[in-house]
Amino acid sequence: MNVAIIGCGGMGRLHAEMAANCGLRVVACADAVRKAAMSAAAPYRAKAFENPMGAIKSKEVDIVVITTPTPTHEKYVLAAAKAGKHIFCEKPFGRSSLECKRSIAAAKKADVKLFVGHVVRYFHEFEAIKAQIESGAIGEAGWVKLYRGGIYPGNAKSWFRDYAQSGGVTFDCMIHDLDWVRYVFGEPKRIFCQALLRKTPTQLDYSQVTMRMKNDVIATIIGTWAHPSGFRVKVEACGSKGMVQFDSSDAPVSGEARKTASGPTMIVPMSPVAVSPYQREWEDFLGWVEGRSVPRVTAQDALRAVQMAEAALQSAEKRQPVKL
């Protein structure tokens, strides 16, 4: 099968590599910035497009990967569905739950597979935590804490810095943890959120959530784009008979160069694993496309994650909890 990458930033190039690893052909790379499209296309001898619609409509394309800024996801999902292509959409699914619902309806109508990349479900450490909880190692789980983030992503002109587009750390980054908590502990009941969403004097965002689940578990979730450097993930789940903890800063490999050309940057620390979580996510998606299996995460799950993030931002504005 042949793949088109729509949006050739970091995630677009990563998904092109994963698709190629799965034996797929990357045939089209589209980006409004021509240079980005060309450099993404080069390793695969793919065709570079400035107009995403050209790539989406291209006859040889079977799968469209959408890795553009969040508010543009819907229009590309709709176009891809209309063109009869299967879709891999990066998270967040859309900038609003309404956009997500229209996307789901379009994929259903066109009878194409629509997958949303909630990759945290595929991370080895998160699988291990879930397995420990489900094995009864901590007894009955009562509280979970997740912490994720580091430096504010993107350069000064990046869409990440426009809260209307990205939704800040709550919508773009914490959505991973909102999804994972629901994946492991079931549906949420209500959510309370405090978010900084600062623009001046320095742009930074820090989000603190308390969420009550229907099964009575309490979740505390912190997302940060307020740190001067780095990226860190911490997880802690406590139960009646024990607790399980993870901290990405406690990694098997660590190094520090004496000099870096570009200064501090957003480095995602990844413990080396034989098959990366992104690769596993692709294998799961392809299993579904080829009719071999049902994926771990559905578009409906991704819609729920967007609804939770929306509720969080609504709570932050009202300074009161929001029912889900």
Partner 1 sequence: MTKIGIMSFAHMHAHSYAECLNRLPGVELVAIWDDDAKRGRKMAKEFGAPFVKDRDKFLARELDGVIITAENVKHRALVEAAAAAGLWILCEKPLATTVKDAKAMVKACKKAKIGLGTAFPCRYSLPLMTAKDMLDSGAYGEVYSVACTNHGQSPGGWFADEALSGGGATMDHTVHGVDLLRWMLGKEFTQVYCELGNQFHKETMKTDDLGSMNMEMEGGIQVSHIASWSRPQSFPTWGDVTMEFICENGVLNVDAFNQKVIVYNDKTKHAGWAAWGDNPDLGLILDFVSAVRDKRDPVISGIDGLRATEVTAAAYKSSKTKKAVKV
Q: How far is the CB of 245 from partner 1 (least distance, A)?
A: 10
Does 202 interact with partner 1 (rule: CB under 8 A)? yes
Pick the closer one to partner 1 by CB: 75 or 189: 189
CB-facing half-sphere around the CA of 275: CA atoms within 13 A: 10
Contacting residue, 38, 83, 218, 266, with partner 1 by CB under 8 A: 218
Does 216 interact with partner 1 (rule: CB under 8 A)? yes
Q: How far is the CB of 288 from partner 1 (least distance, A)?
A: 36
The radius of gyration of the chain from alpha carbons, rounded to an integer in Å, stands at 19
Sole residue written with tokens 């870096």: 260
CB-facing half-sphere around the CA of 253: CA atoms within 13 A: 6
Binding to partner 1 in span 156-195, by CB under 8 A? 190, 192-195
Does 320 interact with partner 1 (rule: CB under 8 A)? yes
# residues near partner 1 by CB under 8 A: 41
Quick check: 305 and 175 in contact, CB under 8 A? yes
Contacting residue, 21, 96, 220, 279, with partner 1 by CB under 8 A: 220
Binding mask 225-264 for partner 1 (x = CB under 8 A): -xxx---------xxxxxx---------------------
How far apart CA 256 and CA 266 sit, in angstroms, is: 14
By CB atoms closer than 10 A (0-12, 13-18, 19+), residue 39 is middle
Q: How far is the CB of 258 from partner 1 (least distance, A)?
A: 23
Quick check: 161 and 203 in contact, CB under 8 A? yes
Q: How far is the CB of 177 from partner 1 (least distance, A)?
A: 14
Strand order across the 322-323 sheet: 243-247, 231-239, 141-150, 218-225, 205-213, 188-195, 322-323
Does 201 interact with partner 1 (rule: CB under 8 A)? yes
Binding to partner 1 in span 15-54, by CB under 8 A? none
Contacting residue, 11, 146, 181, 217, with partner 1 by CB under 8 A: 217
Pick the closer one to partner 1 by CB: 69 or 142: 142
Pick the closer one to partner 1 by CB: 140 or 290: 140
- Residue 90, both tokens: 């990066």
Does 210 interact with partner 1 (rule: CB under 8 A)? yes
Pick the closer one to partner 1 by CB: 76 or 206: 206
Stretch that binds partner 1, among 122-130, 221-229, 264-272, 297-305 (CB under 8 A): 221-229
Give alpha helix (H) positions in the chain.
10-21, 34-41, 52-57, 73-82, 97-110, 124-135, 163-166, 168-172, 175-185, 277-289, 299-318
By CB atoms closer than 10 A (0-12, 13-18, 19+), residue 155 is exposed
Pick the closer one to partner 1 by CB: 130 or 227: 227
CB-facing half-sphere around the CA of 130: CA atoms within 13 A: 16
How far apart CA 29 and CA 16 sit, in angstroms, is: 9
Q: Coil, helix or strand for 14? A: helix
Q: How far is the CB of 102 from partner 1 (least distance, A)?
A: 33
Stretch that binds partner 1, among 46-54, 87-95, 197-205, 288-296 (CB under 8 A): 197-205
Binding to partner 1 in span 96-155, by CB under 8 A? 138-140, 142-143, 145
Point out which residues bind partner 1 (CB under 8 A).
Answer: 138-140, 142-143, 145, 190, 192-196, 198, 201-202, 204, 206, 208-212, 216-220, 222, 224, 226-228, 238-243, 319-321
